[in-house]
Structure 1
């Protein structure tokens, strides 16, 4: 049997704080808040651009370049904000901004490095992949908490100095990214658990171990049934059902194999002597698998890529290396 392809799971570094724009008079307090927000918005813009590149640009070097630009922007923002004086003897606003960006930096360099280490192990088991996705969630929640603290500091400062705040347009893009990322994970984890049982079955087949084949086959059948029950009830993402349906078709393929083809070849592997009919049946199952799995995997991956590209804005410009 052909080796399975590894399906893509979106890893977007969602480090965006709810940006705010200020509007009122030309007061000193307003200028101070605008200066802080300008630093914050610079980080926000770099990070959003990085996410856009990670989805829409195939060149790994270009994507990595954008990731490093986010880190440099954070360092520059920390340096400039640290040099800002306190406002009228109060440093709360400046200090909260610094704490937030430093939390950004720490999460970006430490927690996401941990995620990437987990990702290296994620092909080994469903539990490792689940831990990987949970690590993503934990890092994003921590960043969300930092966002809330900074938002509260901005709001308190504005109230104290009679400044009106309005939310920036970038927030709708961030919300969209968070939503599509959560949807992808929900579908992907259902598929991945099933695919791991299929991989275990194939490995057992290669070792000619019918006992392990049967164990993997039963798990494959049971978990495929459970996944299909959930996915068939799951709505599309804003009406788009292509990714969900591609996952359903792939899982249905594995489920049918578990209940029919795999059952037959497991029984054949238990035999000491094979008939010509056994050989023909075995070859037929293998040919059926090889003749269909690649196109189903391609459809799954293509549908995911299209979902992301449809719902994550393109970067303003992108370049290709020569």
Structure 2
């Protein structure tokens, strides 16, 4: 499964139009912009890697590169000094970079660790995603302060600003929207997906009570997931990811309501046969004709149930494999289409 990731920077570049004596102020702003641009390029490389199948642990070096870029930008901006005695623009930019560094160094370091256990349970996956969202909220708040300071600086120095997002910024913005949608779908998918794994584990142990409990939970969670899926608006009218998720959920409902009872029936007959065999072995030749006939019936039922079990189980395995492969392919196609592989 792919792990979700939101982009971690939202950097707005402005085009400055010079009015007479403000040339030096424009150069000052331009220098700030170049530092942000270096960081955004590092961020885009990281985002592309995650979007196209890389785990955070596998690209840990890229996170460290972002930290280095951030640290170097901090040092250079600190050395710029205030402009005409006014340090508000510089200091707000520094606070943003300091917050960005703290999030990358602390929050995202924890997120890398959380990714390792995110698939162990729905709660762990949800916590992993929430940690990402919280980290981005911190950056958004810090960036808002830096953006306001930039606008104030421009106004005080007679500079007209026009919003002019760079190509990298456009890609980061789009990636943020893509992952936000993907995360919603992924959580809808993940809860019944994980529940089915619990069911399969109970089945492998032949635990009848656990199978029944997980069967009921799978049916309930899958139906709830189908209702939740209906509330999610497709990303730019692209319904492929939703459709693939819907197919899996339909499979889980069918499995829980019609197929698992047949599997449980096999284990019940197996249990009955094994108990009767133990009793017959103890009695041996002292068994009555009625007991022998009852045992023979149990043997026949058990033997037939073996064939039925194998048929049902093999069919479930094939369909499960098909639907999961379709889901994974749909995820890959969706991310490949909407998050560019190019720098």
TM-score exceeds 0.5: yes
| Structure 1 partner of 2:128 | 132
Alignment partner of 2:162: what SS? strand
Residue 151, structure 1, aligned to residue 147, structure 2:
yes
- C-alpha spacing 1:97/1:313, structure 2 compared with 1 (3 Å): same
| Structure 1 partner of 2:10 | 16
| Candidates 222, 225, 249, aligned match of 2:223 | 225
**If you compute each CA radius of gyration, which structure gives the higher value, 1 or 2?**
2
| 1:243 to partner: Cα distance | 1.1
Aligned length: 310
- C-alpha spacing 1:123/1:61, structure 2 compared with 1 (3 Å): closer
| 1:221 to partner: Cα distance | 0.2
Alignment partner of 1:184: what SS? helix
In structure 1, C-alpha distance between the alignment counterparts of 2:329 and 2:236, rounded to whole Å: 18
More helix by share: 2
Query: Which segments of 5 or more consecutive residues in structure 1 lack a partner in the other structure?
Result: 1-6, 317-322
Residue 247, structure 1, aligned to residue 245, structure 2:
yes
In structure 1, C-alpha distance between the alignment counterparts of 2:232 and 2:9, rounded to whole Å: 28
Residue 282, structure 1, aligned to residue 309, structure 2:
yes
In structure 2, C-alpha distance between the alignment counterparts of 1:215 and 1:61, rounded to whole Å: 35
| 1:74 to partner: Cα distance | 1.0
| Structure 2 partner of 1:167 | 163
In structure 2, C-alpha distance between the alignment counterparts of 1:12 and 1:292, rounded to whole Å: 32
In structure 2, C-alpha distance between the alignment counterparts of 1:60 and 1:189, rounded to whole Å: 19
Give the alignment's TM-score, normalised by structure 1: 0.89
| Structure 2 partner of 1:107 | 103
| Structure 2 partner of 1:89 | 85
* 274-283 vs 219-228, which moves further: 274-283
Is the 1:194–1:223 Cα contact (8 Å) retained in structure 2?
Answer: yes
| 1:59 to partner: Cα distance | 11
* 68-77 vs 104-113, which moves further: 68-77
Root mean square deviation, CA, Å: 2.1
Give the alignment's TM-score, normalised by structure 2: 0.84
| 1:123 to partner: Cα distance | 1.8
4+ runs deviating over 6 angstroms: 57-62
In structure 1, C-alpha distance between the alignment counterparts of 2:246 and 2:55, rounded to whole Å: 30
| Candidates 267, 270, 282, aligned match of 1:269 | 267
Cα deviation, 1:2-37, whole Å, max 9, x if unaligned, reads xxxxx2132244223223232224522221111112
Is the 2:198–2:214 Cα contact (8 Å) retained in structure 1?
Answer: yes
| 1:233 to partner: Cα distance | 4.9
Is the 1:115–1:135 Cα contact (8 Å) retained in structure 2?
Answer: yes
Cα deviation, 1:41-84, whole Å, max 9, x if unaligned, reads 22112212321233348799995554433222112101111111
- C-alpha spacing 1:29/1:237, structure 2 compared with 1 (3 Å): same
In structure 1, C-alpha distance between the alignment counterparts of 2:235 and 2:325, rounded to whole Å: 20
